[in-house]
Amino acid sequence: MASYLQMNKEQLTAEFEQVKKEYERLKSLGTVLDMTRGKPGFDQMDECGEIFDLVGNATGFTNCEGTDCRNYGGLDGLIELKYLFSHILGVDHSQIIVGGNSSLNMMFDTIAQGMTHGFGDKPWMLQGGIKFICPCPGYDRHFAITEHFGIEMIPVKNTPNGPDMDIIEELIKDEKVKGMWCVPKYSNPEGITYSDDTVRRLAAMKPAAKDFRIMWDNAYAIHDLYDKGDKLLNIYHECVKNGTEDNIIMFTSSSKITFPGAGVAAEAASPYNVSLLKKRMAFQTIGPDKLNQLRHARMFPNFEVLKKHMKKHANILRPKFEAVINELNKQLAGKEIAEWTNPLGGYFVNLNVRKGCAKRVEQLCAEAGLKLTSVGATYPYGKDPDNSNIRIAPSYPSVDEVKSASVILCCAVRYAALESLL
Amino acid sequence: MASYLQMNKEQLTAEFEQVKKEYERLKSLGTVLDMTRGKPGFDQMDECGEIFDLVGNATGFTNCEGTDCRNYGGLDGLIELKYLFSHILGVDHSQIIVGGNSSLNMMFDTIAQGMTHGFGDKPWMLQGGIKFICPCPGYDRHFAITEHFGIEMIPVKNTPNGPDMDIIEELIKDEKVKGMWCVPKYSNPEGITYSDDTVRRLAAMKPAAKDFRIMWDNAYAIHDLYDKGDKLLNIYHECVKNGTEDNIIMFTSSSKITFPGAGVAAEAASPYNVSLLKKRMAFQTIGPDKLNQLRHARMFPNFEVLKKHMKKHANILRPKFEAVINELNKQLAGKEIAEWTNPLGGYFVNLNVRKGCAKRVEQLCAEAGLKLTSVGATYPYGKDPDNSNIRIAPSYPSVDEVKSASVILCCAVRYAALESLL
């Protein structure tokens, strides 16, 4: 495992010849693989096929409160799911709103509400020139929403403990800074979980803007790959200690528990924020799809059943993640041309290649039949300043496909590094 | 059937004594009935109980294009439903967006998009002082959305042919007037269908505002009570003739076809408008619940099956509507104290009582155990200038309950009229 940085020109040239040959061989295989998105695999979804038998003529349509879920009504969702999501989000069930099939939609609507109605202050749109803190690399769709509404994005680099709090504590002194995106557990794409200290500092923040909101996207709250997963401190409890509970709105969904397109999403917040959110929702809809909620409530009658279900997902996903990590170790360890994470959960492995090489890696992979998440997508405005970050999404393909993809990817990383060194 | 207006004081007093006695008798029955909302009855929903067997392990999850509907993707819905809704909305399937469970939500989002991004012009919110035309009586939730966004509402009284076009053609000369609500078929609450002439005049409009949009809520497009229902002219075709197709956005849903809370909603518009709507949606969500869409696609493989299904609804609803009309005829015909519609479809019977009496009727009904839609709700800002309009929603209760409710209602109408005459 010789470091490329220690090699002389001759050695590098020899290595490059070998890598090129290997790359041409891989290219000739005619692989067609797509690892662009963190989609669950159908093998995971097969694990809850019985959910469809749980609501119908034979089983009835009535929830635990006696509501026939086929008709209108019930703005904020079924009580059973409020209890279930309260375990996931760590707040009282009365603070939970259970919605439709998309937590992203709930986040979009929340930002839209900020723009048109504000959060206790003037609508953001009429304040003008507002900004959002965007820890990065991060989730492209968060950044896309922010950009859609014309909110200026301030990138802040993540540390291994979460976003760089020294910088953030300075930024929030600007009252134009209205909020911040967070994926606090098994973050997209780095797979890091915020440390207790980071959570405490976030909860202690007293931003200049009274209408500042942390968008806490806890998408991977119970998505461990191993029995011993990361533990995320309960930020809401920390906020309550600081009297800052109105600063945070939390989101999650069952998209990666049941079905990505047909799951159930939820948000949670302080009583004040919940009242603001529900006030808007009362104009927006008569209520969510309670039958799909009922399906989920019957599938997961309690949190223990849900956790057991997630172990099945872990068993399916773990070999895929390990296939990536193994190949990264095999081909790249010690070469000093890349760094990667080894997450204990979530949906991504994060790979940082040599500065300036990521786009070339993406291109080499594409030419060999492997589509990766577009380089830069994990940064605000699609611009990775280092041209270094690659998001690996191993969940959707089969283990064998992930192996093939990893071989191509690692070869491309070496190829691009050697090109840049020579 | 003596007209109250022809009676002398003595006759009126005698009549009032009788009516009061009857009212007290009805009150003593201890009725508890709710006719506030146009909710379908469970008997209607029982007609499509088999829909739940159509998606599951046994039947699979793949649509006609080979998409496994469990995963992410497909922003604008399944092709099968685009075709189905194209029959309902009368436009090409390529102009249809199939969404979640609520057309109201689609309307809210469309107005919100106007506020934050506009329709080809400056965002409505930044233009300031914008207005909407609100034909009335109308749907309270339309007015509520408009009010929520701070859009000034201009009430325009409906004629038996739809909104008063003479007035509207004047109003649209103001470029602050950005749109208009329409329920063009079996309107809520009057049950009227816009005449061909009204549709043609709407389609011919050239508003001063280039970003003017008609919100065409065709909620009852195929909701006939009789074999021979009203025919609504295809406004989109008329718009195309006039080059005004960007002026209109159409909505409908299966809320009153399958399930009010768990149906499928759709919108349709010109290619330009569809591109604007989809652009926003691409930020808002990854896609709708395709499994519920697949359920609907399999339940209604073509338009003929759907129309047959709607006949079952008609058979259930017709006796309820006739129970109302019969009682209105029996107690109120010829008395010159009320007017009502006899709609051939939709969800409401409209009753106009003597000016100034509607709130008293509501109160008398409530005291006798019958809850009606809050008087005024059918007008912008909740204000019926005549205090005359009552919306009767007979769909949800049983036929017997509708009969009892109608007896109470008619008695209350006579009571309030006699009070006001004496």
Same domain, B233 and B87: yes
**A122 touching B, CB under 8 A?**
no
Same structural domain for residues A285 and A140?
A: yes
Residues of chain A with C-beta less than 8 angstroms from the C-beta of B115: 116, 125
| CB < 8 Å to B257, chain A | none
Nearest CA in chain A to B287: A261
Q: Does B148 touch chain A (CB under 8 A)?
A: yes
For residue B218, CA distances in Å to A128, B232, B410 come to 37, 10, 30
Q: What is the predicted ipTM? A: 0.96
List the single residue in A with minimal CA-CA distance to B74: A261
Instruction: Measure the CA–CA gap between B257 and B85, rounded to whole angstroms.
Output: 12
Residues A311 and A292 in one domain: no
Sign of the dihedral through C-alpha B60, B65, B68, B69: negative
Residue of A nearest to B109 (CA): A284
For residue A334, the model assigns a pLDDT of 96
Count of pairs with CB atoms under 8 A, one residue in A, one in B: 155
Range of the domain at A23: 4-44+307-421
Q: Which CATH number is B191's domain given?
A: 3.40.640.10
Q: What is the pLDDT of residues B128-150, one digit of tens each?
A: 999 999 999 999 999 999 999 99
Which two three-digit tokens encode residue A208? 């200049």
Pairwise CB contact (< 8 Å): A101 & B289? yes
d(CA A232, CA A225) in angstroms, rounded, equals 15
Share of chain B above pLDDT 90, in %: 98
Q: Considering only CB atoms, which chain B residues are within 8 Å of A256?
A: none
Q: Is A283–B116 a contact, with Cβ atoms under 8 angstroms apart?
A: no
Which residues in chain A have Cβ-Cβ distances shorter than 8 Å to B285? 102, 104-105, 108
Q: Which of B159, B238, B160, B156 is nearest to B202 (CA)?
A: B238
Supply the DSSP string of A311-336, one letter for each residue: HHHHHHHHHHHHHHHHHHHHHHTTSS
B411 to each of A148, B184, B368, B416, how far by Cα in Å?
56, 32, 10, 9
Tens of pLDDT, residue by residue over B399-418, are: 999 999 999 999 999 999 99
Of B102, B283, B291, nearest to A148 by CB-CB distance is B283
- Sort out which chain B residues have CB atoms less than 8 A from A40's CB and list them: 71
The model's pLDDT over B357-385, given as tens digits with 9 standing for 90+, comes to 999 999 999 999 999 999 999 999 999 99
CA distance A60 to chain B (A): 10
Residue with tokens 């359920």: B295
Q: A259–B52: do the CB atoms touch at under 8 Å?
A: no
Question: B388 and B297 share a domain?
Answer: no
Please answer yes or no on whether B102 and A286 come within 8 Å at the CB atom.
yes
Question: Which residues between 179 and 238 in chain A have a beta carbon less than 8 angstroms from any beta carbon of chain B?
Answer: none
In the listed set A252, A284, A301, which residue is the last one of a domain according to the structure? Answer: A301
My answer on whether A153 and A294 are in the same domain is yes
User: What pLDDT score does B168 carry?
Assistant: 98
**If we measure between CA atoms, which residue out of B364, B383, B375, B395 comes closest to residue B35?**
B395
User: A84: which 2 tokens?
Assistant: 């279930």
Q: What is the 3-state secondary structure (H, E, C) of A162-183?
A: EECHHHHHHHCCCCCEEEEEEC
Residues A344-359 as b or e (16 or more Cβ within 10 Å = b): bbbbbbbbbbbeebbb
Residues from chain B that touch A288, judged by Cβ atoms under 8 A, are 101, 261
Contact A42 B70 (CB under 8 A): yes
Q: Kindly identify which residue of chain B lies nearest to residue A147, measuring between CA atoms.
A: B283
Tell me if B167 is assigned to some domain.
yes
Q: How far is B301 from chain A (nearest CA, A)?
A: 20
pTM: 0.97
Domain presence at residue B196 = yes
B308 pLDDT above the threshold of 90: yes
Q: How confident is the model at residue A213 (pLDDT cuts 50, 70, 90)?
A: very high
Strand spans (E) along B332-410? 338-340, 349-353, 370-372, 389-392
Last residue of one domain, picked from the residues B248, B268, B301:
B301
Cβ neighbours of B72 in A, within 8 Å? 37, 39, 255, 260-261
Q: For residue A285, give the nearest of B37, B102, B286 by CB distance.
A: B102
- A275 and A364 part of one domain: no
Instruction: State how far the Cα of B231 lies from the Cα of B153, in Å rounded to an integer.
Output: 29
Contacts of A180 (CB under 8 A, 6+ apart): A132, A133, A134, A135, A163, A168, A212, A214, A215
Q: Find the CB nearest B70 among A68, A109, A262.
A: A262
For residues A303-310, give the mean pLDDT: 98
Same domain, residue pair B163 and B276? yes
Would you put residue B100 in left (φ > 0), alpha (ψ -120 to 50) or beta?
A: beta
Question: Do A283 and B144 lie within an 8 Å CB cutoff?
Answer: yes
B68 close to A (CB below 8 A): yes
Closest by alpha carbon to A121, among A208, A242, A245, A209? A209
Residues of B in contact with A39 (CB under 8 A): 71-72
Residues B110 and B38 in one domain: no
For residue B55, being part of any structural domain is answered with no
B23: domain CATH number is 3.90.1150.10
Total count of domains within chain B: 2
Decide if A144 touches B, using CB distance below 8 A: yes
Does any CB of chain A come closer than 8 Å to the CB of residue B42? Answer: yes
Interface of B with A in 376-405 (CB under 8 A): none
> Is residue A1 pLDDT above 80, yes or no?
no
Query: Is the model's pLDDT at B2 over the cut of 90?
Result: no
Beta bridge partners of B69: none
Compute how many other C-beta atoms are within 10 angstroms of the C-beta atom of residue A306.
18
Beta bridge mates, B177: B131
pLDDT band of residue B208 (cuts 50, 70, 90) is: very high
- A375 lies in a domain? yes
Strand B152-159, strand B162-163: pairing: antiparallel
Does residue A167 surpass a pLDDT of 80? yes
* B 332-361 → A contacts, CB under 8 A: none
Closest chain A residue to B123, measured at CA:
A125
SS (H, E, C) B257-303: CCCCCCCCEEEEECHHHHHHHHHHHHHHCCCCCHHHHHHHHHHCCCH
What confidence tier does A328 reach under pLDDT thresholds 50, 70, 90? very high
Residue A204 located in a structural domain? yes
User: To the nearest whole number, what is the mean pLDDT of chain B?
Assistant: 97
Q: Please, which residues have CB within 8 angstroms of residue A247's CB and are 6 or more apart in sequence? A: A205, A207, A212, A213, A214, A239
Of all helices (H) and strands (E), which one includes residue A21?
helix A9-28
Chain B residue with the nearest C-alpha to that of A73: B261
What's the burial of B122, exposed, middle or buried (CB within 10 Å: 0-12/13-18/19+)?
Answer: exposed
Enumerate the β-bridge partners of residue B351: B340, B390
Supply the mean pLDDT for chain A.
97
Nearest to B70 among A37, A261, A288 (CB): A261
* Interchain proximity B71–A42, CB inside 8 Å: yes
pLDDT above 80 for B230 = yes
Residues in A closer than 8 angstroms to B298, CB to CB, are: none
Cβ atoms B209, B75 nearer than 8 A: no
Between the CA of residue A177 and those of A244, B5, B163, B214, what are the distances in Å?
A: 16, 67, 46, 37
* In a shared domain, residues A284 and A358: no
- Does residue A54 sit at the B interface (CB-CB below 8 Å)? no
Q: Is there a single domain that holds both residue B131 and residue B263?
A: yes
Tell me if A101 and B283 make a contact (CB, 8 A cut-off).
no
The minimum CA-CA distance between A345 and chain B, rounded to whole Å, is 20
Q: Which residues of A touch B149 (CB under 8 A)?
A: 116
Residues B142, B13, single domain; the answer is no
- Nearest-angstrom CA–CA distance, B91 and B373: 34
Say yes or no: B299 contacts chain A, CB-CB below 8 A: no
Facing A283 at nearest CB: one of B42, B108, B291: B108
**Does the structure show a pLDDT above 60 at A189?**
yes
The answer to whether the CB atoms of A291 and B126 lie below 8 A apart is no
Q: Give B357→chain A minimum CA distance, Å.
A: 29
**8 Å CB contact of B290 and A261:** yes
Give the tens place of pLDDT for each residue, B264-305. Answer: 999 999 999 999 999 999 999 999 999 999 999 999 999 999
Judge whether A73 lies within some domain: yes
How is B116-138 classified by DSSP, letter by letter?
HT-SSSS-HHHH-S-EEEEEES-
Q: Is residue B49 part of a domain?
A: no
Which of B281, B301, B321 is the endpoint of a domain? B301
Q: Is the pLDDT of residue B1 over 60?
A: no
What stretches of A185-291 adopt beta strand conformation (E)?
A: 213-217, 248-253, 265-269
pLDDT > 90 fraction of chain A, expressed in percent and rounded: 98
Give the distance from CA B198 to its chain's centroid. Answer: 18
Select from B68, B260, B285 the Cβ nearest to the Cβ of A72: B260
Same domain, B317 and B345: yes
Which residue in A187, A112, A184 sits closest to A146, CA to CA? Answer: A112
A49 belongs to a structural domain: no
Residues of chain B above pLDDT 70, percent = 100
Mutate to test the interface with B, among A98, A105, A106 (most CBs of B within 10 A): A105
* pLDDT above 70 coverage of chain A, percent: 100
The reply to whether residue B108 touches residue A287, judged by beta carbons under 8 angstroms, is no
